Amino acid sequence: MEFSHCIGILPGFPALQEEAMSALFKREKVKQLIRQRVPIVAWLPSYDRTDFICDLIAGVTVGLTVIPQALAYSTLAGLEPQYGLYSAFMGCFMYIIFGGCKDITIGPTALMSLMTYDQVKGKNKDFAVLLCFLTGCVQMLFGILNLGVLLDFISVPVSIGFTSATSVIIIVSQLKGLLGLKFSSNSFLDNVTQVFKNLPNTRFGDTFLGFSCILALLLLRKIKDLPIKEPADGRSSVRKVLKRALWLISVSRNILVVIACSIIAVCFEATGNQPPFQLIGTVQSGLPSLSLPPFSTTLNNQTLSFTDMVSELGSSIILVPVIAILGNVAIAKTFATGDSVDATQEMIGLGMSNLAACLTSAYPVDGSFSRSAVNHASGVRTPMGGLYTGVLVLLALSWLTPYFYFIPKATLAAVIICAVIFMIEYEVVTPMWRSSRKDLVPTFTTFAVCLAWGVEYGILAGVGVNIVMLLYPSARPTIQVQRAMTKSGRSYLMITPSNSLYFPAVDFIRTTVGKAGSQEGRSAVVVDCKFVLGADFTAAKGIAALIDDFKRRSQPIYFYNLRPGVIEVFKGASLEEFIHFGDEDELDEYITKEYVLIQSSKSGGGDEELVPLSTFQGDQERGCTG
Amino acid sequence: MEFSHCIGILPGFPALQEEAMSALFKREKVKQLIRQRVPIVAWLPSYDRTDFICDLIAGVTVGLTVIPQALAYSTLAGLEPQYGLYSAFMGCFMYIIFGGCKDITIGPTALMSLMTYDQVKGKNKDFAVLLCFLTGCVQMLFGILNLGVLLDFISVPVSIGFTSATSVIIIVSQLKGLLGLKFSSNSFLDNVTQVFKNLPNTRFGDTFLGFSCILALLLLRKIKDLPIKEPADGRSSVRKVLKRALWLISVSRNILVVIACSIIAVCFEATGNQPPFQLIGTVQSGLPSLSLPPFSTTLNNQTLSFTDMVSELGSSIILVPVIAILGNVAIAKTFATGDSVDATQEMIGLGMSNLAACLTSAYPVDGSFSRSAVNHASGVRTPMGGLYTGVLVLLALSWLTPYFYFIPKATLAAVIICAVIFMIEYEVVTPMWRSSRKDLVPTFTTFAVCLAWGVEYGILAGVGVNIVMLLYPSARPTIQVQRAMTKSGRSYLMITPSNSLYFPAVDFIRTTVGKAGSQEGRSAVVVDCKFVLGADFTAAKGIAALIDDFKRRSQPIYFYNLRPGVIEVFKGASLEEFIHFGDEDELDEYITKEYVLIQSSKSGGGDEELVPLSTFQGDQERGCTG
């Protein structure tokens, strides 16, 4: 009872089958496809009151986190504060319908904000909104064409280098707000220099408030882990409530700190004093208008067309959506305990979220790791939680914007810093060193290039280095050379390449096998192809040349353990003369025969004494028994 | 008597060993290095009179071929005719000293001319000479750093597509001269359009002369194959002389046709008539001055610095030397019957040739396939043949330039067309289709992009497509899933990935193994790692996640045939808990034990009836005998 099958790739949208298929079966197929690609259809019918309550609690908790983060991230993205809020609801709504993972909550993230900033600086917000639209398009395309395979080329070391670098960049970018400095900069290194140059202008008020906020946020982050003993008596419910309250305070720390600082600012204003720290100022009130993304814009009194804008955005049109998908899939994997993650569905969910978000002047959105963790910990049961988060953001936009005026800049800087500071993964270096130290090369390449030239170049450089490391073994495979002996006692050379025969390795294998063979005089060479899983035309040509080389010096060469597919490739390239076999007895037979031939031709040319075949048969027997 | 060793890369310049090594041994080592890297040291001491005569004949024959080709190719490169001759001697001289292959003759080639044209058009000859210098530098660097591995990434399909496309481009570029048209164009497609547009302006004289020349060249190419019967009597020596004469005429066909056409032009001029075809006109007389390559130039009244020029040259600084090395190594392999070709030495030889050639205002030089074939067929015995070729070119520059005035343009166009027409390799499509039809994709990609955008982009696109094809199996390896049975009759799932565990495959393997495992309920899964030759940090993380997935659903997972290197990578990444073994008995034992455990825990939870171990031992015995 042995069966064997190969598992290929499951296409995102399987092509519909032959017409012969019954209409019923077809309808069933379509239904199944809809259930797979529009997950709400699958879970909504069984949505009940418990689901509603759990989702409501989780959604509101996430909403309380997203509001201060959205305000902070939009300044990180180089946009006015309201754009963060504009980006924080449509994605949530679309993900209810198309989302594949209940815990993920879509909205502005630190990473997307940083990548948007690179496209917005020195330009205007139209580029951010268009980037959101294009991100959605590319993500949908990736989903439909099942291009998730591209994500696999971003390895763990590269992604560690990338997230660590972005965290460092983000933290440094927030020093300005934290210290109350005023300057403009256009890169990480410029930022570092500017901070140092402007250190004498540090404002005490901002610095004090900023560091106090950081301290408060870090402490609040910890209080949920306070050990609250369960007492033996029945009053444990009080303790339970206390534990729950501490958890809620910890999770809502961002909004609590923002509210507290805003109240301080209000107090100063109420007493007629200028607060000793900078405030974010007026946040435009009201909901954003629903409109198509801007397909042209005016910049420095010049009208830029769609193609001009696209060429300005450059490689970020691919990199922003890819990084967003990568992040989203990573979050899904973290929370999908045991279940497999459907990457295609994540691409579609994220693509639809961005396409919807760009209609309300959003910049690119993504699943937020920190908020998804809050969502998960708050006990969310379906993606419907996003509804309550989104509604809360809409309410804030409608009624709370006048109060946002009083939020201090240093507080928002502290919120961002505390959100990303734990993303610097320095502690992974030790296991990487122990496990596979050459993997540190892509990590540090990515990290260094991200800091020196920008995050897009960093990830490209890391992936490039990684691919070179991946390609090297296919160009210079290990080749094992062993002297072996047949049962009949004939020695021969067994050469085993450790890789498939594709073009980069062909010349190397030809040279190595040729050199090893020529050092052995005229004894037979057997190429063991057990690791050769495939071959191409270049390989066929190279093997033909190798066989010619051996023929020219009358040395026999055989191929052992060739797979049928490889034989076909060789034969197709007019390589008819190669001798191959798959079992050891045949190998023995060939080598013994060849040895007899060589011996007899030698004797024939020399002293006319033919070596009788039986001698070797005798030898062979001795070899068997000895 | 079995030994095994791995053959690594032989570095171009092996680092000198420890100080402990005796001075004598050191000197021997240096001597050996010099013999290897300055091959003339090895062969000159034994140079004799026969060598001299053979080299002289071959050298002069090649000289007679290179003169008309040099004039033709320099027009192809967009330079004045004398630059072809300037490029035709220094390379020959340097290759005598550093060349590794006796048959190769260095000088201007169609391919280098075409690639130079792309850098010279709309600019001036300084770019060509600087490109020659940089080509030499890059080739030396490649030789010293042993970067020959990069060449391996240009596969046979890509190089077929590339040479075929360049031949087509070159032929089309010559139609202008052949038909006597006058226009300027800047790309292949533009050229095609212009030829069609200008067809009404075709000049009869040029067209007639051009096609006559092509006909003559093709016929003369064939006459050396005329069957000349060896008669029975002793007068065979006459026949032999005839055969030799025909061969010489065939080989010198270019110069013969050029001389014949020039005589016709002279006759017209002598009778006071304008010839009915265009002549190449004045060729600057005399030897070029010896000077450093131009490190700055004036273009459109603007002075361009070295960096400006380098950025104008762009990617050709890498591609021109790489293509030249590729061509040279290919020629060396064709003529190095049986011997292995030292690619590093070819890079050094070619690099030194270009570095010397740029001192005499040459444009990039390379080994010429057609002239090397003439050299080989003329019986050259050492690289010294290049001396006589070079001297002949110098003589031509000194005394023959006035006569070059009369060479018709159409004749030179015919010379070029006949030199490249046989490089269009349409006949290789059938074996490629039979052998490995997906290899046609890089061929046609290269061909199409070369024609549409230019040869540099073509080769980059081809290599890119090829690398993607190479990477695909490492991202989506075949995974064999087999239901297997232990000797004791316990069924389990044997999963065999067909590739090493590197980052692009990790997620796919995790998902596939997880899916296959979960379909099998709780029966054990064994991952057979016999094809897993290596692993990286991403793989270790992925396997850890896979083990977690299995642990969560209490399904046992084992690893079989793991190599020590892979185990180390896994253990380094804090993956301590995985169970692996290397022999079948152990596998049987584990699966049987696990089965007992599952059964007993099941029974323990259910009806408290422990299944005695002996039953399974009995089972096991039955499995062995049945």
pLDDT tens string B289-304: 899 999 988 888 888 8
Q: Which residues contact A250 (CB under 8 A, 6 or more apart)?
A: A220, A221, A222, A223, A224
Residue of B nearest to A516 (CA): B7
Q: For strands B366-367 and B479-485, give the pairing.
A: unpaired
Res. B5: pLDDT tops 50: no
Q: What's the pLDDT score for residue A504?
A: 86
Lowest mean pLDDT among A182-196, B75-89, B577-591: B577-591
Q: Which two tokens stand for residue B368?
A: 């010429």
Q: Which two tokens stand for residue B600?
A: 């007993």
Check whether residue B457 and residue B521 sit in a common domain.
no
Lowest mean pLDDT among A597-601, B270-274, B407-411: A597-601
Q: How far apart are CA B332 and CA B347, in angstroms?
A: 12
pLDDT tens figures, A291-341? 999 998 888 888 889 988 998 888 889 889 988 998 888 788 777 665 667
Give the other-Cβ count within 10 Å of B625's Cβ.
6
What 3-state class would DSSP assign to A484?
A: strand
Q: What's the pLDDT score for residue A139?
A: 94
Residue of B nearest to A155 (CA): B503
Check whether residue B441 and residue B540 sit in a common domain.
no
Q: What's the pLDDT score for residue B606?
A: 36
A502 touching chain B per CB within 8 A: yes
Q: Which of A424, A455, A470 is the endpoint of a domain?
A: A424
Check whether residue A418 and residue A502 sit in a common domain.
no
Q: What's the pLDDT score for residue B234?
A: 57
List of chain B residues whose C-beta atoms are within 8 Å of the C-beta of residue A505: 152
Q: What's the pLDDT score for residue A82?
A: 92
pLDDT tens figures, A192-216? 999 999 999 999 999 999 999 999 9
Mean pLDDT of B545-561: 86
Higher pLDDT, B601 or B535: B535
The average confidence (pLDDT) of chain B is 83
Q: What H or E segment, with its residue span, contains residue A367?
A: strand A366-367
Check whether residue A384 and residue A483 sit in a common domain.
no
Is residue A522, in this structure, part of any structural domain at all?
Answer: yes
Which sign does the torsion angle of CA A149, A152, A158, A163 carry?
positive
Determine the residue among A486, A538, A561 to mutate to test chain B binding: the one whose Cβ has the most chain B Cβ atoms within 10 Å: A538
Q: Which residues contact B174 (CB under 8 A, 6 or more apart)?
A: B76, B413, B416, B417
Nearest to A560 by CA among A542, A583, A591: A583
Residue of B nearest to A570 (CA): B435
CB contact under 8 A, B533 and A533: no
Q: Would you say A472 and B471 are in contact if contact means Cβ atoms under 8 Å apart?
A: no
| CATH code assigned at B486 | 3.30.750.24
Is residue A457, in this structure, part of any structural domain at all?
Answer: no
Q: How far apart are CA A557 and CA A492, in angstroms?
A: 10
Q: Which residues contact B381 (CB under 8 A, 6 or more apart)?
A: B50, B51, B54, B55, B58, B102
A521 touching chain B per CB within 8 A: no
Res. B11: pLDDT tops 50: no
Lowest mean pLDDT among A477-481, A489-493, B5-9: B5-9
Give the other-Cβ count within 10 Å of A529's Cβ.
22
- Residue B334, classified by CB atoms within 10 Å of its CB into exposed (0-12), middle (13-18) or buried (19+), is middle
- Residue A421, classified by CB atoms within 10 Å of its CB into exposed (0-12), middle (13-18) or buried (19+), is middle
Check whether residue A408 and residue A484 sit in a common domain.
no
A565 touching chain B per CB within 8 A: no
Is residue A35, in this structure, part of any structural domain at all?
Answer: no
pLDDT tens figures, B498-537? 878 888 888 888 888 888 888 877 788 889 888 888 888 8
Model-level pTM greater than 0.90? no
Check whether residue B494 and residue B435 sit in a common domain.
no
Give the other-Cβ count within 10 Å of B243's Cβ.
16
List of chain B residues whose C-beta atoms are within 8 Å of the C-beta of residue A525: none
Q: What's the pLDDT score for residue B236?
A: 66
Count of helices and strands (H, E) across chain B: 27, 10
Q: What's the pLDDT score for residue A443?
A: 93
With a CB-CB cutoff of 8 Å, which residues 574-603 of chain B face chain A?
A: 574
With a CB-CB cutoff of 8 Å, which residues 9-68 of chain A face chain B?
A: 9
Q: What's the pLDDT score for residue A12?
A: 37
Q: What are phi and psi of B360, to 5 degrees?
A: -115, 40
Q: Would you say A393 and A84 are in contact if contact means Cβ atoms under 8 Å apart?
A: no
DSSP classification of residue B535: B
What 3-state class would DSSP assign to A135?
A: helix
pLDDT tens figures, A45-89? 999 998 998 899 889 888 988 998 899 899 889 999 999 999 999
Q: How far apart are CA B376 and CA B69, in angstroms?
A: 18
Higher pLDDT, A385 or A12: A385
Is residue B470, in this structure, part of any structural domain at all?
Answer: no
With a CB-CB cutoff of 8 Å, which residues 543-562 of chain A face chain B?
A: 545, 549, 552-553
List of chain B residues whose C-beta atoms are within 8 Å of the C-beta of residue A6: 478-480
CB contact under 8 A, B9 and A476: yes
Check whether residue B322 and residue B178 sit in a common domain.
yes
Q: How far apart are CA A407 and CA A489, in angstroms?
A: 89
pLDDT tens figures, B129-186? 999 999 999 999 999 988 878 778 888 888 889 889 988 988 998 898 899 898 887 7
Is residue A439, in this structure, part of any structural domain at all?
Answer: no
Residue of A nearest to B497 (CA): A6
The pLDDT > 90 percentage for chain A reads 27
Q: Which of A424, A453, A471 is the endpoint of a domain?
A: A424
* Region of A172 on the Ramachandran plot (φ > 0 left; ψ -120 to 50 alpha; else beta): alpha
Q: How many CB pairs under 8 A join A and B?
A: 213
Res. A465: pLDDT tops 50: yes
Q: How far apart are CA B556 and CA B526, in angstroms?
A: 9
What order of strands is seen across the sheet that includes strand B491-497? A4-6, B479-485, B491-497, B525-528, B557-560, B579-581
Which sign does the torsion angle of CA A61, A62, A68, A69 carry?
positive
DSSP classification of residue A188: H
Check whether residue A483 and residue A573 sit in a common domain.
yes
Q: What's the pLDDT score for residue A401?
A: 87
Give the other-Cβ count within 10 Å of B189's Cβ.
13
CB contact under 8 A, B2 and A572: no
Res. A10: pLDDT tops 60: no
Q: What's the pLDDT score for residue A232?
A: 59
Q: What's the pLDDT score for residue B13?
A: 37
Q: What's the pLDDT score for residue B404?
A: 87
pLDDT tens figures, B317-354? 988 998 899 888 878 877 766 566 788 899 999 999 99
Q: How far apart are CA B113 and CA B83, in angstroms?
A: 11
Q: How many domains does chain A have?
A: 2
Which sign does the torsion angle of CA B564, B569, B572, B574 carry?
negative
Res. A523: pLDDT tops 60: yes
Is residue A264, in this structure, part of any structural domain at all?
Answer: yes
Alpha carbon separation from A470 to A423, A467, B468, B473, B498 (Å, rounded): 27, 5, 12, 12, 16
| Residue in this structure with the two tokens 């200008």, named with its chain if needed | B198
The average confidence (pLDDT) of chain A is 83
Count of helices and strands (H, E) across chain A: 27, 10
Res. A371: pLDDT tops 70: yes
B434 touching chain A per CB within 8 A: yes
Check whether residue B110 and residue B174 sit in a common domain.
yes
CB contact under 8 A, B514 and A569: no
pLDDT tens figures, A222-271? 888 888 766 656 566 788 888 888 888 888 888 899 999 999 999 998 99
Mean pLDDT of A514-529: 83
Is residue B10, in this structure, part of any structural domain at all?
Answer: no
Check whether residue A403 and residue A295 sit in a common domain.
yes
Nearest to B315 by CA among B186, B456, B162, B163: B456
Is residue A250, in this structure, part of any structural domain at all?
Answer: yes
Instruction: List the end-to-end C-alpha distance of chain A, in Å, as a whole number.
Output: 39
Give the other-Cβ count within 10 Å of B541's Cβ.
24
Q: For strands B297-299 and B302-304, give the pairing.
A: antiparallel
Q: How far apart are CA B379 and CA B368, in angstroms?
A: 17
Check whether residue A278 and residue A398 sit in a common domain.
yes
Expressed in percent and rounded to 5, the helix, strand and coil fractions of chain A are: 65, 5, 30
Q: How far apart are CA A93 and CA A99, in angstroms?
A: 10
Res. A14: pLDDT tops 60: no
The pLDDT > 70 percentage for chain B reads 89
Q: What's the pLDDT score for residue B7?
A: 39
Give the other-Cβ count within 10 Å of B8's Cβ.
10
**Sequence-ordered strand ranges (E) for B225-346:** 297-299, 302-304
Query: Residue B230's pLDDT band (boundaries 50, 70, 90)?
Result: low
Query: Residue A445's pLDDT band (boundaries 50, 70, 90)?
Result: very high
Q: What's the pLDDT score for residue B597?
A: 54
Lowest mean pLDDT among B319-323, B432-436, B580-584: B580-584
Q: How far apart are CA B373 and CA B358, in angstroms?
A: 25
Q: Which of A424, A444, A467 is the endpoint of a domain?
A: A424
List of chain A residues whose C-beta atoms are within 8 Å of the C-beta of residue B536: 155, 157, 436, 438-439
DSSP classification of residue A15: P
| Residue in this structure with the two tokens 């700055």, named with its chain if needed | B296
Check whether residue B339 and residue B202 sit in a common domain.
yes
Give the other-Cβ count within 10 Å of A564's Cβ.
8
Q: Which domain holds residue A521?
A: 479-621
What angle in degrees, to the nearest 10, is found between the helix axes of A409-420 and A110-120? 120
